[in-house]
């Protein structure tokens, strides 16, 4: 987490002109969206696994921790973008709704979002600097 914050701060210091600010905004906006998406995924996964018959408390604890990191990171990046809390909350709500729709609002279809988001979100949480680089290269 400290590594991620260092990257964000460094990115802010390096932005010296309008192009850099536009690029930085693009990168941070997309990174904030990534963290928001992953927060939603981890919370849905936590709930889905909690409903199962073979509840693994260690897995649930890991998902909760990942959700907390995702939410905190989304909030910190949102602050850097001067996003209002209401805007960040709306993004989370839209992300939850999107995933619910993908599953047909039925946890029996959880594998749909598991397949789509599990490895992606693992990378976002474990290697945020790689994700920043990804968005930088897409700009």
Long-range pairs, 83-87, Cβ under 8 A, ≥24: 83/32
Per-residue model confidence as pLDDT tens digits over 26-85: 999 999 999 999 999 999 999 988 887 787 889 999 999 999 999 999 999 999 999 999
Beta strands in the chain (DSSP E): none
pTM score, whole prediction: 0.84
Separation of alpha carbons 81 and 8, rounded Å? 11
Average pLDDT over residues 124-131: 94
pLDDT band at 19 (very low <50, low <70, confident <90, very high): low
Separation of alpha carbons 57 and 28, rounded Å? 34
pLDDT band at 16 (very low <50, low <70, confident <90, very high): low
Q: What is the pLDDT of residue 3?
A: 57
Q: What is the pLDDT of residue 50?
A: 86
Indicate the domain borders of the chain: 21-138
Angle in degrees, CA 53, 56, 57, rounded to 5: 125
Return all residues near 110 (Cβ < 8 A) that are at least 6 apart: 44, 45, 48, 103
Q: What is the pLDDT of residue 77?
A: 96
């Amino acid at each position: 987490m400290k590594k991620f914050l260092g990257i964000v701060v460094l990115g802010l210091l390096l932005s010296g002109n309008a192009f850099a600010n536009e690029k930085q905004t693009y990168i941070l906006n997309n990174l904030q969206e990534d963290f928001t998406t992953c927060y939603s995924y981890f919370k849905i996964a936590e709930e889905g696994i909690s409903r199962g018959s073979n509840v693994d408390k260690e897995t649930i604890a890991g998902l909760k921790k990942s959700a907390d990191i995702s939410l905190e990171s989304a909030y910190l990046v949102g602050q850097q973008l001067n996003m209002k809390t209401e805007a960040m909350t709306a993004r989370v709500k839209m992300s939850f709704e999107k995933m619910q729709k993908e599953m047909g609002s039925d946890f029996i279809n959880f594998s749909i979002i598991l397949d789509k988001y599990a490895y992606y979100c693992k990378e976002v949480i474990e290697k945020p600097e790689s994700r920043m680089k990804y968005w930088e290269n897409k700009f």
